[in-house]
Structure 1
Amino acid sequence: MHEARFWDKAAEGKVKCSLCRFRCLIAEGQRGVCGVRENREGVLYTLVYGRSIAENVDPIEKKPLFHYHPGSKSFSIATVGCNFRCLHCQNADISQWPHTGRPIAGHDLPPAEIVRRAKAAGCRSIAYTYTEPTIFLEYAYDTAALASREGIGNVFVTNGYITPEALEAVAPFLDAANVDLKGFSEKFYREVAGATLQGVLDSLKEYRRLGIWIEVTTLIIPGHNDGEADLKGIARFIADELGAHVPWHVTAFYPTYKMIASPPTPAATLRKARQIGIDAGLRYVYEGNIPGEGGENTFCPACGKVVIERCGFRLGQVRTEGGKCGFCGEKIEGIGL
């Protein structure tokens, strides 16, 4: 039990949570949409502070973050819980755990120990990932503050539903984020994720305003969000509202969780999406979940040569110097390139 942040008292013993864009009004003894924030006698508590459900040393490319210290390692942690209900969640066993009626799972892993383990493993950053970092923000915030003092970066892998006030609080310690832009229609978000598109778009603009390095990922699901209008809408939004330098990862779907009847994404669909991004003026568009196809390489937007080679999560030759193309000197945006 740990008292939460970002909440206010409301009438009749209720509390108003302002951590994510659902802004839940929670009655006594009840929990918010995430399932891990509970009103006990008019005080909001987080049930997952210091309760890690998973930790691993991952390549930063797995997040995926391709323009943040390429080739580095990231100490990755998560708790149970999520504020979305994605039908295609790859980590539903832990993200939806609080809704099973079972006690909150996890083992004790305090922030200082996370930082110690990250340093011992030679990690350049700590990634708050696997589930949704917003719902364990108090835990992530304290860890990130300690990590920053030790020269370790912090990155979110997120659904992009955090409130502006919560993001502003953690922003001084947050170096980068990969934000899911799951589709480009309110219908898709409502039916597949249980959220709103506009909330994610607004959040993405907040990340950009605060100067946090962002990369955007869209998992393309055949028959759901693979229409040309959807893909063009996402590409235009990134180019116009976030900046042409913001990388867009278009990744392949594989049947999972409650969408096992949907077919895998054809490689041709990813190639079409990548071309749509390039035609919209995006400087960096990547194809994910189909290693070895060449769509994971970073190409110089000016001369077209490969400046960072990748295959899956493995880094090949890097031909950048001081954030510039090693061939023609064009700027290659990012951190630690």
Structure 2
Amino acid sequence: MIKNDDAKWRHTHQQARLEEILPNGVVRCHLSPRNCTLREGQHGFCGVRMNRNGRLVTLNYGKSVHATEETIETEAVNHFSPGERILSMGNIGCMLNCAYCHNWKTSQAKYVEDKDVYHYTPEQVVDIALRHGIRMLSWTYNDPVVWHEFVRETAMLARQKGLMNLYKSAFYITPEAVEELLPLMDIFSISLKAIDEEYYRKYTTGRLQPVLDGIKQVYRAGVHLEVSNLMITDISDDEGSARKMADWVLKELDATVPLHFVRFHPDYRMRDTVRTPIPRLIRAREVALEMGVEQVYLGNVYDTPFSNTYCKDCGTLLIDRFGLNAKAEGLDEKGCCRKCGRNAHVKMRGPVGAPSFVETIPASEVLERKTFQWHGDVRSLHVQARNASAQPVKLYVRRTLSNGTAPWRVVQLSPQESFRFIIAQSMPNETGCEVLLPKDLQTNLHEVFDRAHFPTVSIEQTGIQSTDVTPLPAYR
């Protein structure tokens, strides 16, 4: 695999927070528990923080993968404003190096290519959300910890403009950094890899205890918290692992904190294996429920009732989910069961804003058509479009059904705007989607293998992949 040690994105920097200045021009970074001590010109483990002229700087301020509209369920969040549209922001670099990373092309700084890096200011991020009627920013993908300065400044501005903030992270972070995030975040969705120190050292290059401490710090602060566990085939997908996870949640947090067991796909340096067998995920869920966790979900699994939310008293279906789509029809405005009144511990934030839809498209519009069929476990697609013209333009996208078609969603793009959004299978009889666009609009379609996966290559480059197990590019 070619390293990109002299990529253009590395050529600019900004002052970093949480630095300790030591003698002889040495600095120490207190962002992650590694507390990297750096001599002049040295980079930290993350690859995006370094010592320049005796000061700690960040190389990735405002440098991101493409901003992408998704839904809150993408982030393993099931108990906060179900169905909420979010603007997902992912950066480059990471404080871990997990052997199975789904986003290694951007999480590992040495492999980041300039073509995958987009540049944003805090004002631009907030403006994208406001123009598209999105109420929440999500700090996500490779990991927002190493994007600390940009996350803080943008989240502050977002709060001022009435937007919410979601932090999706493996949470290898110091208590000082957590304290700087707590006043700005509405939600923390934390990926706890395992309750096993040896696992953390072997497969993530990190340590377990700082992650546990960070989760407890968020919990004590009273910010909305959900915990997810990626179950790796034949490594952490056994009943014993599930029991340890549930036991820790019950003892250190409480039974109302939602727990997600998430299906793994082979990737990065762990491709010689298979997806997590679904029966093992189902058994993990059963174990956690038997132990007393109130709400336990399966992630990255379609065609299952185990992503739905049911009332713990009367069994009423409260939130009906299919893939990354949700309908909260059994809840009242306080997050309680409409039938029996039990508190489901779901935070509601008023009506969820919906995109614009039309039944028909004006015959006067000359449009090009692109189609995509769901196949195997590939049930989501990123649509990326760039309006290179000086005029606003529209594109249209709709779902194709085995017994017909759905209405057209209308996506408005401002002059020179580049926008990316997800479309995910929303019902069993949905077979794919189609996109209509003006001929001068530049578009790419990207297969999404799982909800935490950010694709960096399009089907226009590679064709539709013949496998649904490991996405391209493959690590070599």
Fold match by TM threshold 0.5: yes
Cα 1:239–1:140 change in 2 (3 A) is same
**1:2-21 map, 5 Å:** 2-21=14-33
What does residue 141 of structure 2 align with? 130
**How far 1:65 sits from its partner (Å)?**
0.9
Equivalent positions of 1:170-189 (< 5 A) are: 170-189=181-200
- Secondary structure of 1:246's counterpart equals coil
Question: Contact 1:78 / 1:131 at 8 angstroms: preserved in 2?
Answer: yes
SS in 2 for 1:320: coil
- The residue correspondences of 1:138-153 to structure 2 (distance < 5 A) are 138-153=149-164
AA matched with 2:86: S
What does residue range 291-302 of structure 1 map to in structure 2 within 5 Å?
Answer: 291-302=302-313
- Indicate how the Cα distance of structure 1 residues 7 and 104 shifts in structure 2: closer, same or farther if over 3 A, else same: farther
The aligned amino acid for 1:254 is: H
Q: Which residue of 108, 116, 120 corresponds with 2:131? A: 120
Gaps of at least 5 residues in structure 2 are: 1-12, 350-476
CA distance in 1, matches of 2:224, 2:194: 21
| Aligned-partner residue type, residue 50 of structure 1 | G
Letter of the aligned partner of 1:119 in structure 2?
L
- Report the Cα distance in structure 2 between the residues aligned to 1:334 and 1:115, rounded to whole angstroms: 26
The answer to whether residue 103 in structure 2 is matched with residue 91 in structure 1 is yes
Please show how residues 238-317 of structure 1 align to structure 2 within 5 Å: 238-317=249-328
Query: 48, 52, 56: which is aligned to 2:60?
Result: 48
Larger Rg: 2
1:125-178 per-residue CA deviation (whole Å, 9 max, x = no partner) reads 100111110100100000100001111100111001121111111211101011
Report deviation, 1:317: 4.8
> What letter corresponds to residue 253 of structure 2 in structure 1?
L
1:215 aligned partner: 226
The answer on 1:164 being equivalent to 2:163 is: no
Q: How many residues align?
A: 336
Cα RMSD over matched residues?
Answer: 1.5
SS in 1 for 2:159: helix
SS at match of 2:183: helix
Name 1:70's counterpart in structure 2. 82
TM-score normalised per structure 2: 0.69
Whether 1:328 and 2:340 are equivalent positions in the alignment is yes
Contact 1:213 1:334 in 2 (8 A): no
- 1:62-106 deviations in Å (ceiling 9; x for gaps): 11211111111000111111111111111111111x224867962
**Local SS of the residue matching 1:179:** strand
How far apart in 2 are the matches of 1:175 and 1:65? Answer: 12
Q: Given the superposition, is the C-alpha separation of residues 54 and 238 from structure 1 closer, same or farther in structure 2, using an over 3 Å criterion?
A: same
| Structure 2 partner of 1:204 | 215
TM-score, length-normalised on structure 1?
A: 0.96
**Distance (whole Å) between structure 1 residues aligned to residue 329 and residue 271 of structure 2:** 38
Residue 83 of structure 2 aligns to a residue whose secondary structure is coil
Identity among equivalent positions (%) equals 34
> Gaps spanning 5+ residues in structure 1: where?
none
The verdict on how the C-alpha distance between 1:240 and 1:114 changes in structure 2, with shifts beyond 3 A counting, is same
Alpha-carbon separation, structure 1, partners of 2:308 and 2:129: 27
